[in-house]
Structure 1
Amino acid sequence: MRLTKYGHACVRLEDGDRVLVIDPGTYSEAESLAGATAVLITHEHADHIDVDKLKAARDGNPALTVHTHPALAASLGDGVIPVEVGDTFSAAGFTVRAVGGEHAEIIDGLPGCPNLGFLVDGVYHPGDSYFVPAESVDTLLVPASGPWAKLGEAIDFARAVRPTRAFPIHDAHFGDIGLDSFDWWLETKGGTDYARVPLGESVDL
């Protein structure tokens, strides 16, 4: 399986002709969706779903399937598949399990919206949460920045999940200094094999 890192929280998973994209938001590139056969959306925020880009991709490929939590699925119209926490399903030929359920709190219970994490054949994208799944994880995508994100919690999250390897996502809020600092801490204290995938580049898992 090949993982390609796009802007912010968006990643693309490919294995042969199977192409799955997670969280193509407003900070990610339209090219992330080229040739995709399925899309997973963790939650409703624009940095995780660009409705216009997604509509264009669906118009260009009516067979493209979109999977997300029921409230967001209903707002996106026909053909979007609602997913509940605990569901196991197939998307683009990958086996996916939905976990978690709630967005991490910023303050005062906000934003208080649903958030699904997705386990895709050993790759875990948590969306905007630090939910630790019961399942084993080979590749963890660690949220790095945002109004709800905290460095110490990111380290604790990586330690609790205990993946074979970890890569950062959700990093558009950082400049170079912030990226370097986050990387140093996760490399030093995360307890796993950690590396940054440069924007637009890929790794084979």
Structure 2
Amino acid sequence: MEVTKLEHACQIVTEGDARLVIDPGNFTRPVETTGVVAVVLTHEHPDHVTPEQLAGILARNPDAVVIGPAGVAAALAETGVPIDVVTDGDHRSVGPFDLSFHGTRHNVIHSSIPVIDNTGVLVNGRLFYPGDSYTEPGVPVEVLAAPVGAPWLKVAEMMDYVAAVAPRRAYPVHEATLSEIGYGMHTGRLREAVEPGGALVLLAPGESLTV
């Protein structure tokens, strides 16, 4: 299994000829890949999904299923795209991908901003991506896609979260809100949290990691 990181939150997981697209939002290049069997959307914020990105993916992959929490289904209702609604504890099998879902709520941005649905995904029992949350899946994690920059993110909490999950490897995502200097600072702290028990892998957009 291979995961390719695109810009910000979007990742493409490949197993054989099948692909799983996760969180294709508006900070990400148009996703023009084929072979997509499923699209997982952790929540409805536009940096994680836009109707335009989703329409482009489905135009090339009309049989792909779209999976996400109830908030995603409500936000995309006007598009007419059917959403397979999932929440914490649910499982789905799509092509070669075994998906388990963890968590229910987005991290708090501010007390004045409503907290929306957010459900992270564990792919084939090895790769976990929490979306915009600090959800711990409650199972060993081989590879963690770790958010490093966001309005809701505090570096100390990020470090505590990664230390609690204790992945064997981690790579940073959700970085578009950071300058080059900020990215270096945040990934440096992420490295401290991952090592020495695990390893941090820095992936530029378009680079891949074998999971």
String of CA shifts for 1:59-80, please: whole Å, max 9, x gaps. 3322011101123224253432
String of CA shifts for 1:43-65, please: whole Å, max 9, x gaps. 00000002112112213322011
For residues 187 and 98 of structure 2, the distance between their equivalents in structure 1, rounded to whole angstroms, comes to: 30
What does 1:55-94 correspond to in 2, within 5 Å?
55-74=55-74, 75=77, 76-94=79-97
Q: Which residue pairs with 2:115 in the alignment?
A: 112
| 8 A contact 1:6–1:32 mirrored in 2 | no
SS of equivalent residue, structure 2 residue 101: strand
Q: Give the unaligned 5+ runs of structure 1.
A: none
Over 3 Å counting, the alpha-carbon distance change for 1:33 and 1:39 in structure 2 is: farther
Is 2:205 the partner of 1:199?
A: yes
1:190 counterpart letter in structure 2 = V
Worse overlay, 192-201 or 141-150: 192-201
Worse overlay, 19-28 or 85-94: 85-94
For residues 209 and 15 of structure 2, the distance between their equivalents in structure 1, rounded to whole angstroms, comes to: 12
Q: Which residue pairs with 2:194 in the alignment?
A: 190
| 8 A contact 2:14–2:20 mirrored in 1 | yes
| 8 A contact 1:103–1:111 mirrored in 2 | no
Q: Give the unaligned 5+ runs of structure 2.
A: none
Aligned-residue offset at 1:135 = 1.4
Q: Which residue pairs with 2:137 in the alignment?
A: 133
Aligned-residue offset at 1:92 = 3.6
Give the CA RMSD over aligned residues.
1.5
What does 1:1-205 correspond to in 2, within 5 Å?
1-31=1-31, 33-74=33-74, 75=77, 76-108=79-111, 110-121=113-124, 122-191=126-195, 192-205=198-211
Aligned-residue offset at 1:90 = 1.1
Aligned-residue offset at 1:33 = 4.2
Percent of matched pairs sharing the same residue: 35
2:24 counterpart letter in structure 1 = P
Superposed structure 1 runs of 4+ greater than 4 Å apart: none
